[in-house]
Structure 1
Amino acid sequence: MNIEARQPSRSSRTKPAIVDVDIHAKSSVEDLRPFLSNRWGDYLQTYGQRSRHGYAKGFPYPKGQPLASRRDSWPPDGGLPASNLDFMRHQHLDQYGITIGIMNPLSPTGQGDQNVEFGAAMCFAANEFQIEHWNRLEPRLRASVCVPYEDGELSRTEIRRRAGDQRFAHVLFMSRTSELLGKRRYWPIFEAAVEAGLPVGVHVFGYSGWAMTNSGWPSFYIEEMTEHSTSCQAMVTSLIMEGVFERWPELKIVLIEAGFAWLPALGWRLDNAWKKLKNEVPHLKKAPSEYIRQHFWVSTQPMEEPDDPEHVIDVMNWIGMDHILFASDYPHWDFDDPFLALPPKLTAEQRGMIYSGNAQALYGFA
């Protein structure tokens, strides 16, 4: 996929209505600076951002491509991929007929910063920037509520600030948190999200301060790529076992860019263990797989691609066709072309659900 994408013929295909739940609109630190107070602007200038890993700058693993982006996604003005609205319109929104796109900023946002107060200020700035630079000029693009998720109270404050603002689609987490996501330190975030009527989107990535596997740091980027699903399995298990969904039965979780073939098998394994050990978790009122079926949605990207395409349709049916949302991951190198990503043997009704119907129902998009 690390090549220039061929542009599909506009005349040869009828464009479906598409809601893309994973677009990585890009900002720079300088873009966010006008939205910071003098205190935090000075702090940023003096100390910078401090992620929860061992490098002062950069990432532990090279991304296979600069900024993990397609070679053809760098705009003609010399800016960063997905930083130029006109170019994004041309290359993605208009090209594929995207009716609504949800922006999931990855960096800089302040999420997971060592200084949670500074992180809260950066999240505020990132949220303001999404509205001012993107949504105000292109209403098809909806924002995510970035929160400093390692501090529940600061996160709750930011969610309540955005509550009722239809320009925000969901609350955004990264998947690698300092503790498992079901732990009580994160509960104020779930409470505020439910109060605001917002789903919680959990996008893979982030740094917790811990090694990303139980046995330390892997050697290769390909291992990091596949680790995303295992971190999400632990997260899903924690949310269920800690009783989060019993406490907030209206809570909705969207797993973004985590893959999805693992999810049914996780439910089966949890059900098997729960039948034998349910007296350890008497607060659970139903089988773990029922919580999965009711409370979790998954994005299509990265699309599972078995040798037999019908196998992935089986997995989709096990998850529930109504809980699968289309995502492109634009502008990243493993971008999924909206016209080519879905299994060809899906029915027209199923494709319509995945492309737009499910997201419209989940997010309340008109």
Structure 2
Amino acid sequence: MNIDILSHEKNLLKSRARIAVADCDIHPSPKSVEIEIFPFLSKRWQEYMKTYGVIYRQGFPTGPAFPKGQPNAARRDSYPTSGGKPGSDLAFMQSQHLGPNNIQLGVLNPLQCAQGVQNQDFSAAYCNAVNQWQIEQWTSKDHRLKASLMVPYEDPLASVKEIEKWAGNEHFIQVLLLSRTAEPLGQRKYWPIYDAACKAGLPVAIHAFGYGGAPVTGGGWPSFYIEEMVGHAQNTQSLLTSMVIEGVFEKFPTLRLILVEAGFAWLPALSWRLDKLWDRMRDEIPQVSRPPSQLIREHVWLTTQPMEEPEVSNQLLDTIEWIGWENLLFATDYPHWDYDDPSRAMPIKIDKHQKESFFLNNALKLYGLEQ
């Protein structure tokens, strides 16, 4: 359940999860790019970044097209007491989030990492730098934290090289892409990334956001930030449809896909529509030999934040049961403003087994971390 920071900020530090939790979406940030990231960049790319900056694949070259609901899209209480951006101080994260909420596994998903920017060579160098930074500043200092393998996904060959470099490294548990890509993610341009991830035994996570050069909705540029927020689900449905219809899951039968921060209640309706159209038009796509809903259930997991919250709570239960409890991964989105507190996140009553699966065991099983 989304927290109203203005109303509940005094209670956030006091919240306690009653069971162990896997948080599958934590956003770390460097305190300073020059201090923490530059040591992992060559002199060439340091000078390039100082001179030209990060040039995004869109008409808004300096950053997101829409201002966020809060500065840095962050909770007001998430700024470290030592200074710096939210998510930039491990000790503060430990005391505010990891410890109080009994986080046993925290998956780091860095954003603003130059993954899909115009200069693909710079993108590759910066992704590699962020991968090294995650280990040095985070995962080597707290065993609960695991890193996402950042790749320059618009350059599949460079992405494969980065995956192969880190394959088998215990610090990384997934490959991370962003959802707004230059082309639909089912197209063959991106297949080498899926192939390399499968060979490395890593799931592919796709986080909402990014810069593909197109408007953030299928109908053009919207007027308001709230429309961009809603558009994350629209974009994610499009990429999932592309991956199903292009035959990605049949080509890579061991591929595990995680959809991050795009909600999940839309999945049943999308699956029903895909099944209906596949049944009528399957001769157009012989590469898809089974109903799309079957492929989705076998290959797709979704993080729960932001969770849809219908007024009739049992409707949420019906939705989850159709998707499958085992296909949902709990996430807080810490330190962002729409953070989901583990003690408040599930607005319906569930049994002990469902709770343990939802908050912890699904993630441990998916990432191969079961003891």
Q: What TM-score do the two structures reach when normalised by structure 2?
A: 0.96
Q: Which residue of 2 aligns with 1:231?
A: 235
Matched, 1:26 2:26: no
Q: Which residue of 2 aligns with 1:183?
A: 187
Q: Which residue of 1 aligns with 2:88?
A: 83
Q: Which residue of 2 aligns with 1:67?
A: 72
**CA distance, structure 2, for counterparts of residue 113 and residue 66 of structure 1:** 23
Q: Which residue of 2 aligns with 1:135?
A: 139
Please tell me whether the aligned partners of residues 152 and 159 of structure 2 are also in contact (alpha carbons under 8 angstroms): yes
Where has structure 1 moved over 2 Å in runs of 4 or more? 7-10
Please tell me whether the aligned partners of residues 101 and 142 of structure 1 are also in contact (alpha carbons under 8 angstroms): yes
Q: Which residue of 2 aligns with 1:241?
A: 245
Please tell me whether the aligned partners of residues 27 and 110 of structure 2 are also in contact (alpha carbons under 8 angstroms): yes
Matched, 1:47 2:42: no
Please tell me whether the aligned partners of residues 313 and 343 of structure 1 are also in contact (alpha carbons under 8 angstroms): no
Please tell me whether the aligned partners of residues 26 and 108 of structure 2 are also in contact (alpha carbons under 8 angstroms): yes
CA deviations on 1:284-335 (whole Å, 9 max, x unpaired) are 1100110111110011100111001111111111101101000000000000
Please tell me whether the aligned partners of residues 16 and 97 of structure 1 are also in contact (alpha carbons under 8 angstroms): yes
CA deviations on 1:239-292 (whole Å, 9 max, x unpaired) are 011111111000000011110000011000000001110000111110011011
Three-state SS of the structure 1 residue aligned to 2:11 is coil
1:9–1:56 Cα change, 3 Å = closer
**CA distance, structure 2, for counterparts of residue 59 and residue 14 of structure 1:** 33
Please tell me whether the aligned partners of residues 17 and 343 of structure 2 are also in contact (alpha carbons under 8 angstroms): no
Three-state SS of the structure 2 residue aligned to 1:272 is helix
Question: 5 Å matches for 1:280-359?
Answer: 280-359=284-363
**CA distance, structure 2, for counterparts of residue 359 and residue 62 of structure 1:** 32
Q: Which residue of 2 aligns with 1:103?
A: 108
Once superposed, what is the RMSD of the aligned Cα atoms?
1.2
Amino acid at match of 2:285: V
**Distance apart, 1:8 and its partner CA:** 6.6
Q: Which residue of 1 aligns with 2:5?
A: 2
Q: Which residue of 1 aligns with 2:18?
A: 15
1:53–1:5 Cα change, 3 Å = farther
**Distance apart, 1:159 and its partner CA:** 0.6
Stretch deviating more after TM superposition (45-54 or 118-127): 45-54
Q: Which residue of 2 aligns with 1:255?
A: 259
**CA distance, structure 1, for counterparts of residue 230 and residue 167 of structure 2:** 35
CA deviations on 1:159-210 (whole Å, 9 max, x unpaired) are 1111001210100011111100001110110000000000001100011011
Stretch deviating more after TM superposition (295-304 or 42-51): 42-51
Question: 5 Å matches for 1:69-218?
Answer: 69-107=74-112, 109-218=113-222
**CA distance, structure 2, for counterparts of residue 69 and residue 16 of structure 1:** 25
1:9–1:214 Cα change, 3 Å = closer
Please tell me whether the aligned partners of residues 314 and 348 of structure 2 are also in contact (alpha carbons under 8 angstroms): no
Q: Which residue of 1 aligns with 2:364?
A: 360
**CA distance, structure 2, for counterparts of residue 323 and residue 58 of structure 1:** 33
Amino acid at match of 1:246: E
User: Identical aligned pairs, as a percentage?
Assistant: 50
Three-state SS of the structure 2 residue aligned to 1:6 is helix
**CA distance, structure 2, for counterparts of residue 123 and residue 7 of structure 1:** 33
> Which segments of 5 or more consecutive residues in structure 2 lack a partner in the other structure?
none
Q: What TM-score do the two structures reach when normalised by structure 1?
A: 0.97
Greater relative contact order structure (CA < 8 Å, 6+ sep): 2
**Distance apart, 1:14 and its partner CA:** 6.5
CA deviations on 1:74-103 (whole Å, 9 max, x unpaired) are 011121001011100000000101001000
**CA distance, structure 2, for counterparts of residue 85 and residue 335 of structure 1:** 18
